[in-house]
């Protein structure tokens, strides 16, 4: 999501501005590794709860956070984090290279320009990055779901080898790809739509209270920083709520043969039906959502606020 915001900045600026953004994004990957390591315990617990790991399925979010260190040690909270660290760098690089190519393709072949062609190019670049790095996300989920004493995989390389050998070659690495791609559209779309709507309402009806002159163009009003944070957080919360069942579906499909009921979760529709029929809405389709709020609302708030500040810094208003 944050890389998607910077994609638009890269496309809109001059060559120097593009270089500045690309330099910032390279550092963003390092910052992303630090951020992901910080919230890795929440990610591990979310995966355990989403797929109803039999050791923790009777527990809630905070009970599981306390139970994992007791059962597996504090390093147990970081299972699967190594695969996520490896994934961050190629994901960002692929997204930006693909964005530039898709931008040219959309403009030349479809004759579309402006915000629409940037949005289309950004969406296609995001999907390309997800497809290319999806095997690492799959391995991360498998490693994170393991519990001490029941290890099927000894590490990242062993997990790759085992999945490739036992689950049909390369296709085995792409279980759950469909809900991942389908979920990107409502998440990204609702995030931008909600933030843009809240921004317009605030500046239209309470400009003196919520707005201030832009740093690069005093004739243009922008939201104050704390209001930007609030609007970004609300946008993230709404987008997460709508798309979360697809995230649960993706995780259960990714875990595949690790789960006893894997034969009932072969397609996206089958998995959604199975989760709803067996676990309901709150303890099934939305299990672990509170963790996503804790993880994603602050990051979305910061992402949109940074995006607005960068537009001013690059004189794009």
pLDDT at 249: 95
pLDDT at 250: 95
Q: Sort 312 into a burial class: Cβ within 10 Å, 0-12 / 13-18 / 19+.
A: middle
Helices (DSSP H) in 154-256: which residue ranges?
A: 156-166, 177-205, 207-210, 225-255
pLDDT at 195: 85
Successive 10-residue mean pLDDT values, the chain, 317 residues: 55 53 56 74 93 90 92 92 87 78 80 67 83 95 92 92 92 93 82 86 87 81 87 89 94 90 89 94 92 83 78 70
Which residue is it, tokens 């617990």? Answer: 45
Name the pTM for this structure: 0.81
Residue among 33, 44, 31 at smallest CA distance from 78: 44
Residue ranges per structural domain of the chain: 186-286
What is the 8-class DSSP label of residue 182?
H
Determine the Cα angle at 248 with ends 245 and 252, to 5°.
Answer: 140
Residue 214 has φ and ψ, to the nearest 5°, of: -65, 145
Q: For residue 221, what are the β-bridge partners?
A: 213
pLDDT at 18: 54
Q: Sort 57 into a burial class: Cβ within 10 Å, 0-12 / 13-18 / 19+.
A: middle
pLDDT at 14: 52
What is the 8-class DSSP label of residue 107?
I
pLDDT at 267: 92
């Amino acid at each position: 999501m944050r890389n998607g915001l910077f994609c638009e900045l890269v496309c809109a600026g001059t060559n120097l501005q593009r270089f500045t953004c690309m330099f910032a994004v390279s550092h963003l990957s390092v910052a992303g590794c630090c951020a992901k390591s910080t919230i890795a315990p929440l990610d591990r617990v979310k995966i355990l709860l989403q797929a109803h790991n039999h050791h923790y399925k009777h527990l809630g979010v905070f009970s599981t956070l306390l139970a994992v260190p007791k059962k597996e040690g504090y390093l147990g909270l970081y299972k699967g984090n190594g695969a996520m660290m490896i994934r961050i760098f190629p994901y960002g690089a692929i997204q930006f290279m693909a964005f530039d190519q898709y931008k040219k393709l959309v403009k030349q072949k479809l004759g579309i320009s402006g915000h629409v062609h940037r949005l289309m190019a950004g969406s296609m670049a995001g999907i390309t990055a997800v497809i290319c790095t999806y095997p690492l996300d799959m391995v991360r989920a498998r490693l994170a779901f393991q519990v001490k004493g029941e290890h099927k995989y000894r590490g990242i390389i062993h997990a790759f080898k085992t999945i490739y050998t036992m689950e049909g070659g390369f296709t085995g690495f792409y279980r759950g790809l469909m809900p991942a791609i389908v979920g990107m559209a409502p998440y990204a779309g609702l995030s931008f739509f909600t933030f843009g709507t809240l921004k317009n309402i605030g500046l239209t009806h309470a400009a003196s209270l919520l707005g201030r002159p832009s740093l690069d163009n005093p004739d243009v009003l922008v939201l104050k920083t704390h209001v930007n944070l609030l609007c970004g957080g609300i946008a993230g919360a709404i987008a997460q709520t709508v798309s979360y069942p697809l995230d649960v579906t993706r995780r259960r499909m990714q875990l595949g043969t690790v789960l006893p009921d894997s034969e009932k979760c072969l397609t996206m529709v089958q998995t959604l039906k199975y989760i709803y029929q067996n676990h309901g809405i709150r303890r099934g389709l939305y299990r672990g959502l509170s963790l996503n709020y804790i993880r994603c609302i602050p990051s979305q708030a910061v992402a949109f606020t940074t995006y607005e500040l960068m537009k001013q810094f690059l004189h794009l208003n």
